[in-house]
Amino acid sequence: MSTDTPQIIYRHDYRAPDYLIDTVHLHFSLGERQAVVTSRLHCRRNGEGGANPFLVLDGEELELLSVFLDSRKLTEKEYVQSKESLTINQVPDNFELAITTLIRPEENTSLEGLYKSSGNFCTQCEAQGFRKITYFLDRPDVMSRFTTTIEADSSVPVLLANGNLVETGKAPNGRHYAIWHDPFPKPCYLFALVAGDLVRVADTHATGSGRTIDLHIYVQKHNSDRCDHALRSLKKAMAWDEKVFGLEYDLDLFMIVAVDDFNMGAMENKGLNIFNSKYVLAKPQTATDADYAGIEGVVAHEYFHNWTGNRVTCRDWFQLSLKEGLTVFRDQQFSADMTSAAVRRLTDVIMLRNLQFVEDGGPMAHPVRPDSYIEINNFYTMTVYEKGAELIRMIHTLLGVDGFRRGMDLYFQRHDGQAVTCDDFVRAMEDGGGVDLTQFRRWYSQAGTPQLLVTSIYDPASRTCTLQVVQSCPSTQGQEEKEPFHIPLAVGLLNSRGTDMELSVNGKKMGTTVVLDVKEGEQAFVFEDIREKPI
């Protein structure tokens, strides 16, 4: 029986890393039962971090073979190895570290890091799986440019990693290799490697700027006839992102791997998305309409992460909704444009009420940006994803379509290539959209589902209709009292014939639908020149 006390990680304890890793060169020598991984890390002291002379790297279940600091092999007295880390006792301000480790993918039943299943090598690194591949600063605010060399027996014909393919060739003893380079900095949770006996289905996408992007889907041979819908969905998503958000794909190649036994469902690794077959493959003989719609949505979601999650990522895991809430909103908007906006919205709201409202009203209620966690893998909740998307939708409502686009443009202009926070996103929306979102930030820190009680009072003498709005929010664990939320409330009035009534506020005509800024516990809104009692 374990008596270890779980360690609680708190958001307020965040501190910038003492060191950064600018470039990473990885070499994988894949064998039948083991793999040797050599990493060359170009590191430097972070001016925003502390003055710690020790470099502490994360690592779990690794067999350390050697450590070199600036080409000099370190003795065991110069580093400390534990079950969860490797500490280099003294390092200069700028240095190269070369580390060789041995791992056993076939025995990796955690399915985090590099594992082997059904003869195929595959990775899953979000949230903290990269530390099971090699020693590294396994945190999302350390962004590096990766070059990856994979060497394997020729019986493993497909060798894939992030970025663009720069070289392939033969190696001694019936082996071969492939070298991949990703020119864009990314955190290590977005690293991916796939090696196995897979078949390829290919297409291309022409961007608005005139570039041609190669699109490859890799699957097990028995699934090769089920890729067409996923390819069409991917091309739709790429075109939609260019049209709606002005976001063009940045590499020369986009790859999807779909295998039957991938454990995470879907993962947005840079340029190399990995899916379980269930979420990406379909054919008319066996798939339903719901299957086709779901595949279109999930393929789009993982593709959209290229900008909202990969190019701009999270500073720490407390900011998870920065990428997931925003990307869920984007895939909802995409699906609404591809199908029926009304039907899509009804589907989203039904799911929200049936699942997220229950979570928000129970013992597991937590804010969209939580303040603490024990196990990071339990962080991927309906609240972080689906409620997080509703926060983005409310910002979209407050700013309008054009204001939201200006906010998004400013967000990428400020933060491309950075690891940032939910506050950074809201600030860009504020500045780009010209709307004060100070009070709106409470949505990120307060748990629970607020309730609105709306009462209508019509005065025929003054021809006014007053809406009295009272907001409340039940107490949740650790939050007995809630401050008022900033809630955009879209309202309209109908006359006795069921027709929309023109609305005026303070002498200004507002059309037939008005978005009210509900900011107080009790608030009244008066509509003028209402000639009959609304129904």
Q: Is the confidence at residue 186, as pLDDT, over 70? A: yes
Which whole number is the average pLDDT over 437-441?
99
- The model's pTM is 0.97
**161 Cβ partners below 8 Å, 6+ apart?**
146, 148, 150, 178, 180, 182, 191, 192, 193, 194, 272
Look at residue 263 in the predicted model and tell me its pLDDT. Answer: 81
| C-alpha–C-alpha distance, residues 218 and 200, integer Å | 5
Q: Can you give the pLDDT at residue 261? A: 86
Give 339-355 pLDDT, tens digit per residue: 999 999 999 999 999 99
Quick: pLDDT tens for 161-179: 999 999 999 999 999 999 9
| Cβ contact 260:118 at 8 Å | yes
- The per-residue pLDDT for 131 is 99
pLDDT at residue 6 is higher than 90: no
Segments of the chain assigned to CATH 3.30.2010.30? 200-292
% of the chain surpassing 90 pLDDT:
97
From residue 453, alpha-carbon distances to 37, 45, 450 in Å are 60, 55, 10
All CATH 2.60.40.1840 domain ranges of the chain, comma separated, are: 451-527
Give the pLDDT confidence score for residue 267 in this predicted structure: 98
Query: Where do the CATH 1.10.390.10 domains begin and end in the chain?
Result: 313-445
The dihedral through the CA atoms of 94, 100, 106, 109 has a sign that is negative
CATH number at 451-527: 2.60.40.1840
CATH topology of domain 313-445: Neutral Protease; domain 2 (1.10.390)
∠ at Cα 437 (431, 443), nearest 5°?
Answer: 135
In the annotation, is 302 catalytic? Answer: yes
| pLDDT digits 0-9 by tens, 266-294 | 999 999 999 999 999 999 999 999 999 99
Q: Which of 126, 151, 268, 302 is catalytic?
A: 302
> In what helix (H) or strand (E) does residue 322 lie, and over which residues does it extend?
helix 320-338
Q: Is residue 415 within 8 Å of 428, Cβ to Cβ?
A: yes
For residue 293, the one-letter residue type is A
* pLDDT band with cut points at 50, 70 and 90 for residue 1: very low
Token duo for residue 380 = 């991927």
- Long-range contact pairs involving 162-169 (C-beta distance under 8 Å, separation at least 24): 162/186, 162/190, 162/191, 162/192, 162/269, 162/270, 162/271, 162/272, 163/251, 163/270, 163/271, 164/251, 164/252, 164/253, 164/271, 165/253
CA distances from 141 to 17, 171, 217, 510 (A): 8, 36, 30, 45
Q: What pLDDT is recorded for position 262?
A: 87
β-bridge partners, 111: none
Q: Is the model's pLDDT at 51 over the cut of 90? A: no
* Cα atoms in the 13 Å half-sphere on the side-chain side of 351: 14
CA torsion through residues 423, 424, 426, 431, sign = positive
Phi, psi of 512 (to 5 degrees): -100, -10
Q: Does position 2 have pLDDT exceeding 90, yes or no?
A: no
Question: Residues of CATH 2.60.40.1730 domain(s) within the chain?
Answer: 11-197
Q: What's the topology of domain 11-197?
A: Immunoglobulin-like (2.60.40)
Report the amino acid identity of residue 118: S
* Tokens representing residue 290 in the block: 């719901």
The total of other beta-carbon atoms located within 10 Å of residue 107's CB is 12
Residue 301: its pLDDT value, please?
Answer: 99
Q: How far is CA 409 from CA 249, 305, 324, 391, in A?
A: 15, 16, 18, 18
- Per-chain mean pLDDT for the chain: 97
Q: Which fold has domain 200-292?
A: Zincin-like (3.30.2010)
The pLDDT confidence band at residue 53, using thresholds 50, 70 and 90, is: confident
**Whether residue 3 has pLDDT greater than 70:** no
pLDDT of residue 226: 97
| pLDDT recorded at residue 107 | 97
Residue type, 91: V
pLDDT at residue 400, rounded to an integer: 97
Q: d(Cα 132, Cα 125) in Å, to the nearest integer? A: 9
